[in-house]
Structure 1
Amino acid sequence: DTSYQFRATKDIWFKCCFCAYVTTDQHEIISHLASHGIEQFKCQHCSVLFDSMSELQCHSQRHRSDMSSKCPSSPKLSPRKQVCLTHTNTYKCQRCHLAFKEHGGLTKHYQTHLAEKPFKCKLCPKAFAHRGSLTNHSRIHTGEKAYKCEQCPKAFIRNSDLTAHNRMHTGEKPYKCELCSRAFTRQSTLAGHIRTHTGNKPYKCKQCPKAFAQHYNLTVHSRIHTREKPYECKLCPRAFAQNIALTLHNRTHTSERPSYKCKLCPKAFTWLSTLTSHIRSHTGNKPYKC
């Protein structure tokens, strides 16, 4: 919505909610946000849509809570204790099976069914159903990272991001694909991976015929057209379209040794693709035919 009124001052930088893009121009950020499209997260139990994975996870806890509890007024299993209260006295949602002891709980839940999002960001067009979601979103603009990792210097805007990051230290990958042996630290990553099995590619490039199974891949691909390189090296003028490329480049400035070592000779390489090509010099494999 280009008519959205921003609180524009010289001190405000408008930061994209989906990638590292920043600008001082309010019209540029609107155009950039539109390039991402609308990515919503759908509840598998009641089909309600959410703007972020953290909102979906919070909502999903209501479905997972006490899945095996028996209703005292009915012999059937109830998916949640609150549902049993519909046989006594409670506030029942007219859109789904959930019910609540207090009217305030019903009011907060009902907003997930409506387009109403009363908590609006003052720095960009986004709006949210809950105040807590707006608070988390606002940190994108302020740069505040309240959730700090206890095992490394990294910090995060959302607690859910910290939780996912901690799995890198523990090695935990709780989201397993039922179609292959792969597992992931995030549910959203698993959802994108499953599309590689189904062939579904909902994220289409507006500049060329390409389409992608995951929104992130479309974002990276779009930079081919825009020539945007948001990841800048702090030690030299180089910039990159992907964060992983910057990470690998930074090794050229430090004493950090290359990560990918050949098992057949003492050589080591910064890039996995370079190691793969090098190994062919040992095996004699020539996969690329004229």
Structure 2
Amino acid sequence: MRSHMDVKPYECEDGGYKCSKMSNLIKHIGIHSADKIYKCKECGLTYLDKSELITHAKACSTEKPLGSEEHCYKFVPSTLNKYEIRNPTGEVPYESEECGHKFAQRSDLNTHLRTHTGEKPFECKECGHKFAQRSDLNTHLRTHTGEKPFECKECGHKFAQRSDLNTHLRTHTGEKPFECKECGHKFAQRSVLKQHIRAHTGEKPFECKECGHKFARKYALKLHMRTHTGEKPFECEECGHRFSIKSVFNIHMRTHTGEKPFECKECGHKFARKDNFKLHMRTHGREAV
């Protein structure tokens, strides 16, 4: 049986954070709204509007114990209105007849059912692409408008999706929250961890329909497909030579620029290609890092 702590009915729609108590959700949302400035000294709730704080403060000390669900329900700031509080009782009464998966809200069940029916009711008027969820359509529309509303305060880089911003922020913090249980290696992105785990399991889920060759990474399959299609999307503007792989194209460009980025620290010799650099290092009795 699941414990009460396993049930996490409160969800932040901006970051995907889930928790078992509304008080924890309120604290978390402060991450997205760093400009809140009016704070209750009794319980720590923060407000953008001073009048809201005054109304809250008058009754705060006479209400339910601080941090209790009853207290939080009554004094949730209006800035939280856009966050959907998902079934605070923890009940999941809506069940999919197809797979048995259960949901706290009927709307979540309806969205899930589209994974079985294949229904995609939300269509992009620009290109005709269809989506099962409105939120996915809204995200897609930014590929047409170029809108990037999520900005990194460290470097000013902008992103179309908050999840992409959150991933990017780890390049500044160095955070690597996704750990491989097999070898302890840590990663900044869950998708990269999944790819890494295939090195342990040997799983190769991406199969070429032309020849049956299988790959652990989707990108590797994409590159392989060019051997069948003959596609060479990377063209050298200097000589017109075309390449199917960008890394090979980059190496070729060095024949024009003269760039040699791989330098031997033993003798100062420089190389345009890493493989030649590695061969050279063996003459010194060392392996290239």
Fold shared per TM-score above 0.5: yes
* Secondary structure at 2:120 match in 1: coil
Q: Give the number of aligned pairs.
A: 219
Match of 1:146 among 101, 109, 121: 121
| Equivalent residue runs for 1:106-121 within 5 Å | 109=85, 111=87, 113-121=88-96
Match of 1:268 among 232, 238, 242: 242
Does structure 1 residue 76 correspond to structure 2 residue 63? no
Gap regions ≥5 residues in structure 1: 2-38, 51-55, 68-74, 87-91
Distance 2:15 2:176 in 1: 24
Note the alpha carbon deviations across 1:92-119, whole angstroms, 9 max, x for none. 964343389xxxx9xx8362x4433333
Match of 1:179 among 154, 166, 171: 154
TM-score, normalising length: structure 1: 0.59
- Using a 3 Å threshold, how does the CA distance of structure 1 residues 47 and 147 change in structure 2: closer, same or farther? closer
Note the alpha carbon deviations across 1:22-69, whole angstroms, 9 max, x for none. xxxxxxxxxxxxxxxxx999639999617xxxxx9xxx8xx99xx9xx
Distance 1:221 1:125 in 2: 31
The question of whether the paired residues in 2 share the 8 Å contact of 1:93 and 1:99 is answered with no
Letter in 2 for 1:274: V
Distance 1:144 1:229 in 2: 29
Which has the higher Rg, Structure 1 or Structure 2? 2
- Using a 3 Å threshold, how does the CA distance of structure 1 residues 76 and 218 change in structure 2: closer, same or farther? same
* Secondary structure at 2:172 match in 1: helix
* Alpha-carbon offset, residue 208 of structure 1: 1.6
The question of whether the paired residues in 1 share the 8 Å contact of 2:9 and 2:85 is answered with no
Does structure 1 residue 49 correspond to structure 2 residue 15? no
| Equivalent residue runs for 1:101-250 within 5 Å | 109=85, 111=87, 113-124=88-99, 126-152=101-127, 154-250=129-225
Identity %: 37
The question of whether the paired residues in 1 share the 8 Å contact of 2:206 and 2:215 is answered with yes
- Which residue of 2 is the match for residue 95 of structure 1? 72
Q: Give every structure 1 segment of 4 or more consecutive aligned residues whose post-TM-superposition deviation is greater than 4 Å.
A: 39-42, 44-48, 122-126
- Using a 3 Å threshold, how does the CA distance of structure 1 residues 44 and 132 change in structure 2: closer, same or farther? closer
If asked which structure has higher relative contact order (CA below 8 Å, sep 6+), I would say 1
- Using a 3 Å threshold, how does the CA distance of structure 1 residues 186 and 47 change in structure 2: closer, same or farther? closer
Distance 2:176 2:10 in 1: 16
Note the alpha carbon deviations across 1:138-164, whole angstroms, 9 max, x for none. 323443333333444643332222222
* Alpha-carbon offset, residue 215 of structure 1: 1.4
Distance 2:261 2:244 in 1: 22
The question of whether the paired residues in 1 share the 8 Å contact of 2:121 and 2:130 is answered with yes
Distance 2:94 2:12 in 1: 21
Deviating more after overlay: 191-200 vs 266-275: 266-275
Note the alpha carbon deviations across 1:145-191, whole angstroms, 9 max, x for none. 33333444643332222222222233222212111232222111211
Distance 1:193 1:122 in 2: 39
The question of whether the paired residues in 1 share the 8 Å contact of 2:92 and 2:103 is answered with yes
Match of 1:278 among 213, 227, 252: 252
TM-score, normalising length: structure 2: 0.59
Letter in 1 for 2:104: A
RMSD value, Cα = 4.3
| Equivalent residue runs for 1:25-64 within 5 Å | 43=12, 49=18
- Using a 3 Å threshold, how does the CA distance of structure 1 residues 152 and 273 change in structure 2: closer, same or farther? farther
* Alpha-carbon offset, residue 203 of structure 1: 0.9
The question of whether the paired residues in 1 share the 8 Å contact of 2:86 and 2:104 is answered with no
- Which residue of 1 is the match for residue 40 of structure 2? none
- Using a 3 Å threshold, how does the CA distance of structure 1 residues 42 and 191 change in structure 2: closer, same or farther? farther
